[in-house]
Structures are given as C-alpha cells and as structure tokens.
Amino acid sequence: MELFPLSTPLVTTNDDLFEIILQALKKANIHLQEGDVLTIATKIVSITSGLLIKKDDIVVSEEAKKYAEITRLAPEFMEVAIRESDEVLGACYGALLTRKNGNMMPNAGADQSNAPEGTIIILPPNPSEIAHQIRAQLEEHFHCRIGVIIGDSRVQPLRRGTSGLALGVSGFVPVIDDRGRKDLYGREMRITRRAIADNLMSAAEILSGEVDEKIPLVLIRGAPIILTEEDLTATMSIDPSECMYFSTFLAKKN
C-alpha cells in the first residue's frame, strides 16, 4: 500500500474543492487509478463550503458560560460546540465531550485551529453526501472507480495523541465484517469487524499532520478495499448500548 501526500495552498472560502483536488493531483503528477482512495480533511471541506462562524456574531448562553469555566475555553466557542452537538455528555479541562452524527467527539467537531482570524470552523452536516459528489466528479474526470473519505482527527480512550476518524465515505465498504471467519486455530469470530475507513484515515493522518503542513489531501493506492456504489455510512457507527465503553459506564451509572 502506498500513500501520497498532496499539498495545497492556503484554502479560502473563495476556492472550489474539486478544483483544489485536481490542482493538487496535477502538481504531484498523479493520475487516479482503479481502487485508489482519496482522503480529504474536513477543514478544507468546511472552509470551501463557507462553514465559518464569526465570533462577534455569537450570543453566549449561561450554559456555555458554565462549560467555559470547566473547560477553560472561550464562552463563544462553547456556545458553538453546544449548538452543533446532538448531545452534551460532559466536560473537562480542554474539551466539551459530545455526540454528533453517531460519533463521540470533543466540541462537536467545532475547531479554532487553522480557522481564519475571528472565526470558528464547524463540521459539514453531511460529509458522505459531499464525498459522493467529489467521487462522481473524479471518476468522470479520470474514468476509473475510486473511494473517497472525508475525515478528521480523534482521540482514543486512555491513549495519548490523535488518530483518524472517517466521517464521510463513498465508493467502498468502510467496515469489513469478519464474523463467521475462523482464526488460526479454527475458532469462529463472533464480534470482530474491521474499521477499514477509520484505519485508512489514520494512515493518512500521519502525513497530513495537525498544524501547518498544508497537506489536507492524501492519496492511498493499493488499499484492500471492496468497491461499492452503496451508501454504507451508517454501518460505521453503533448504538451506545453496543459500545463496550458506553455500556460499561451506563451500567455502573444505573
């Protein structure tokens, strides 16, 4: 499997995402091939979609002020995080723990890093829909079938550092079900599934970085994916009752 980092200029709200991708591929002298996977950082998706909130326009609630004291983050930022979340689970120094679109994440994905001065970046409401659109454009241009991931970084429980999280996918099966297969000693797998999209996004995160790298795109070639036209976004998330972390904490709480 090969990974190719694709650098871009500083992206603004005046840019077109598809054109940015084409220019990055051209600059790297890369022509897409059958089975390639393109990973796209949510930041450039959000910026080119105009998903920026001006801090001066934010009216701060009492709830946001309360969480700002706990997290030591700006009340305006907490207000946006609360609004963007589907559920606020709690707060600690540095983050508001939330659920959004079936994922557990800090601050509902809202971010101030690499955001234009005086703004807060929020996540696109339907990353997979954008991934479908970009994939269709790229497949028409390069005449091959590919996969697209729109992803972000995340933290794992009790682990230091970030890894990748696929928020939107298109063109391939994001989770492989290994239930029913047998291990080296003939034991049948009962619960094992592999998070292919998340793992590919984690690999891309090594190259794309988190700071000033300007590598929001990574091309992955030779990945063991299964191409499909079916939208399988929903298969990447599970109900809290099925999650070993959530279900354990809920059981202790009850």
- The confidence score (pLDDT) of residue 176 equals 84
d(CA 157, CA 153): 14
Q: Which among 224, 215, 204, 223 has a CA at the least distance from the CA of 28? A: 215
How many angstroms separate the CA atoms of 21 and 251, rounded? 46
Mean pLDDT confidence for 143-172: 92
251 pLDDT exceeds 70?
no
- Helix ranges (H only) for the chain are 17-27, 42-48, 62-71, 75-84, 127-142, 196-208, 244-253
The rounded distance, in Å, linking the Cα atoms of 133 and 116 is 26
Tokens of 224: 């063991």
CATH of domain 52-122: 3.90.1660.10
Average pLDDT, the chain: 91
Segments making up each domain of the chain, as ranges? 2-51+123-253, 52-122
Band of pLDDT at residue 183, cut at 50, 70 and 90: confident
For the question of whether the overall pTM of this predicted structure is more than 0.95, the answer is: no
Same fold, 2-51+123-253 and 52-122: no
The predicted pLDDT at position 250 comes to 64
Look at the domain 2-51+123-253 and name its fold. 60s Ribosomal Protein L30; Chain: A; (3.30.1330)
What is the pLDDT, as a whole number, of residue 178? 72
Question: Tens of pLDDT along 200-228?
Answer: 999 999 998 766 678 999 999 999 999 99
